[in-house]
Amino acid sequence: MKTLLMILITLIVSPQTYAIDEADQKVNIDAFKTDAWLSPPKFKLSKEIKQKYLDYGDITANIRFFAGTEGKIQKVILIRSSGYSDIDQIILDGFNRARTKPFIENGVAYPITAIQPVSINF
């Protein structure tokens, strides 16, 4: 249990990492370590979306996700909206397609939950 608590703390205070959108642009994932992902979130930012939000700078949201013992994302909840429903949906979709590395302690895999800030810079 102590190790699980430390991992959750690490998820929240880790240095900035990145997910890659389909155009190979970096999308800032502030808290979750890059090496904790088997398949990091990938956000489908269409040309129309990029154009629409070009002058908006950073758009941020907070996500809570739950991953099973094999790292498959089971549930994603938007806990702080970006303020833009289309961006929120893109972020939710990206996390639903992602996969974390399993959390294993003493040879036993455990499900995890984490709060993940997301910042997309247009």
Task: Read off the pLDDT of residues 62-93 as tens digits, 9 standing for 90 and up.
Answer: 999 999 999 999 999 999 999 999 999 999 99
Report which secondary-structure segment, H or E, holds 2: helix 2-13
- Output the six-digit token pair for 2: 């102590």
Among 3.30.2420.10, 1.10.540.10, 3.40.50.300, 3.40.50.1000, what is the CATH number of 2-121? 3.30.2420.10
Neighbours of 67 (CB within 10 A): 25
Mean pLDDT estimate for the chain? 78
Name the most confidently modeled range: 3-7, 9-13, 87-91.
Answer: 87-91
- Spatial separation of the C-alpha atoms in residues 82 and 28, rounded to whole Å: 14
State the Cα–Cα distance between residues 8 and 73, nearest whole angstrom.
16
Residue spans of the domains in the chain: they are 2-121
Mean pLDDT across 50-72: 93
